[in-house]
Amino acid sequence: MNMRKILIANRGEIARRIIRTAHAMGIETVAVYSDADANAQHVREATQAVCIGPAAASESYLVIDKIIDAAQRTGADAIHPGYGFLSENATFAEACAGAHIVFIGPPPAAMRAMGLKDQAKKLMKIAGVPVVPGYQGDDQTLDRLTRAATAVGYPILIKAVAGGGGKGMRRVDAIQNFAAELRSCQGEADRSFGNAVVLLEKYVAEPRHVEIQVFADSHGNVVHLFERDCSVQRRHQKIIEEAPAPGLSDAMRKAMGAAACQAAKAIGYVGAGTVEFIVDTSQPEYSYYFMEMNTRLQVEHPVTELITGLDLVEWQIRVARGERLPKLQNEITQSGHAIEVRLCAEDADSTFLPSVGTLKRLRFPSAARVDSGVAEGDDITPWYDPMIAKIITHAPDRMSAIEKLLSALDETIVDGVKTNRAFLARVLGTDSFREARITTAFIDRHAAMLKPPEQVPARVFALAALAIITPHVHSSKKHHSPWLALGGWRVNLPEARSVMLSSHMAVPAKITLTRCASRYQIDGLGLPLSAHAKWCSDTVLEADLDGQMIRSVLLVSDTKVEVRIWGQTFLLNRPDRQVSAASAMAENGEVKAPMPGRVLDVAVKPGHFVEVGDLLATMEAMKMEIRVVAPAAGTIRQIHARTGQQVSDGQLLFEIDITEKS
């Protein structure tokens, strides 16, 4: 079958990923976009683009008729659904067939077979695939479910049959809690999925989430592309994925791969799919059970691509064209280890709340694969998933892949929104993760050690101070002055510079750096330090602190310094510079946010007269409560801040008419 043009019924990172492969295969692409995505990267990169409605997904990306109409108007031969949105919607696949458009995905019957968790488990039992002991019956009365829960044995899980993403799921530890948790779960399932039916499962105490990538063609061939471990999750959402899964025996890997292929064969599967298993690690001999099958490409497919050297989107397109699988099972090999993290615009230190704003600066690492849907200057909006990028590394072994990924995260710079970058680095740096002691409860169990460091070592303060005073002599500017390298040099006197730095709510430290030949004597930190430093790039500082060579990433701004070292991120404020910044704002009466954060309270109203230093608003940022004060006397002309608002660094909050009080 010839395929000249593919419409991508998705957005962001996965749309760009599909465009990249399609164009490499000589296939034109059509992007669809909502009003909120008019300037999105996938719109710019596709051959054509069609607007399909307002920002809300329910009025654009989820409207089947609009997608089909766009495909027909642009002459697309096929539609690739990506993941999410309509990717597992059997009705959408049937609508494509009705319009004589190829759906790049499995047959509708296969999607329906796996669409409801209870029916899927029944099918897997028949196919001989291990399933978690439980109840998947039609009788949904309280009495029948209570008896079934007792038979299975507590603790148990109540799960919505149409659920996903952690919704419609409850753990119950004792019979006296069962009725209340059942009502809660059914109510959430009904609201979220329009289906209140639940199933019961034995609760696996030490579970790992291991999934097998499968592929099938229309000629009867089915293969697996090995396994991935996706156990590290927050609120049942994956944030770190790796391949192969660490710690499994060769026999178990082989058995799980065979079971996944058997599952695909049992439902007449065609295309890319993922069979997800829960692995019980509570006993020395691990056991595994079928959990569900995702009938689409997965977010974490890059780790499989990196260990196999295969392009899974290309395989999808070839299978959809009616071709045989490019390789059979004995021809598929794997090498090395790959790890992926999901870099999201969210506040990892405040229940992972999404963060919105403009990406004022965006820099990705050079030595990693980065799949992203955004570029510098783009907006992270509240309309869609807050994922900024997937950062993936591949190395000969797991530990090397971890170290490579930590370096990649250190190189990643995002200004304008909060991200989980530092949190991800802390996870990768824990002994438990490095030793592969992981379960789906990893984040909850390690919550204390995954918090930002409360104590800032003296050496971190020293590095921040050195970064502030050390000139970037490697600068590529044509007219670089050699005198800049001398800093505060004075005739016949030792050069001395003072820097004010503070962390959290601590009293600011005055750090004095005195030039002694080619080194600095650093005082004010409780212990004397001798140091020499140089910039290796605009963000990488190499320092010799009393003979210890330290290489770290530092981001220096007018009001703060971010130090990334030892897998940790330390945020230091420059209180003296914040006062200077406030004074500078007095010139035009504009008061801007000193850093990204959330507005806790607005203390003034339009028309109020304020004196210098009067409180205008209180913000929360970097786990600190920050007072935004009037930089000059005058009348409040306009207020752009509101309580609860998430604001970006430098965002306009207030306008003041600078006048003298009459």
Catalytically active residues are 296
Give me the sign of the Cα torsion angle 125, 131, 133, 134: negative
Angle (deg, nearest 10), helices 178-193 and 142-152: 110
Pairing of strands 560-565, 615-621: unpaired
d(CA 119, CA 400): 42
d(CA 118, CA 142): 17
Nearest to 5 by CA among 39, 36, 40, 50: 50
- The set of residues, in sequence order, having a beta carbon less than 8 Å from that of 317 and lying 6+ positions away, is 3, 6, 21, 22, 25, 27, 78, 80, 104
CB 564 within 8 A of CB 552: yes
CB 610 within 8 A of CB 649: no
d(CA 483, CA 471): 10
- The set of residues, in sequence order, having a beta carbon less than 8 Å from that of 503 and lying 6+ positions away, is 456, 570, 571, 572, 573
508: DSSP letter: P
Tally of CB atoms within 10 A around 623? 16
- The set of residues, in sequence order, having a beta carbon less than 8 Å from that of 457 and lying 6+ positions away, is none
Q: Which helix (H) or strand (E) holds 580?
A: helix 575-585
Go through the chain and tell me how many residues it has. Answer: 662
d(CA 295, CA 566): 40
d(CA 279, CA 248): 10
d(CA 249, CA 251): 5
Pairing of strands 237-238, 346-347: unpaired
Secondary structure percentages of the chain, helix, strand, coil, to 5? 30, 35, 40
d(CA 75, CA 4): 9
d(CA 304, CA 227): 8
Give me the sign of the Cα torsion angle 591, 594, 600, 603: negative
Peptide linkage before 155 cis (omega within 30 of 0): yes
Rg (CA), the chain: 28
CB 585 within 8 A of CB 633: no
Query: Would you give the end-to-end CA distance of the chain in angstroms?
Result: 82
Question: What is the phi-psi region of residue 498: left when phi exceeds 0, alpha when psi lies from -120 to 50, beta otherwise?
Answer: beta
AA letter at 27: I
**Measured at the alpha carbon of residue 408, what is the angle toward residues 345 and 571, in degrees to the nearest 5?**
60
d(CA 27, CA 105): 17
Q: Which residues of 201-221 are buried (b: 16+ CB within 10 A; e: fewer)?
A: bbbbeebbbbbbbbbbbeeeb
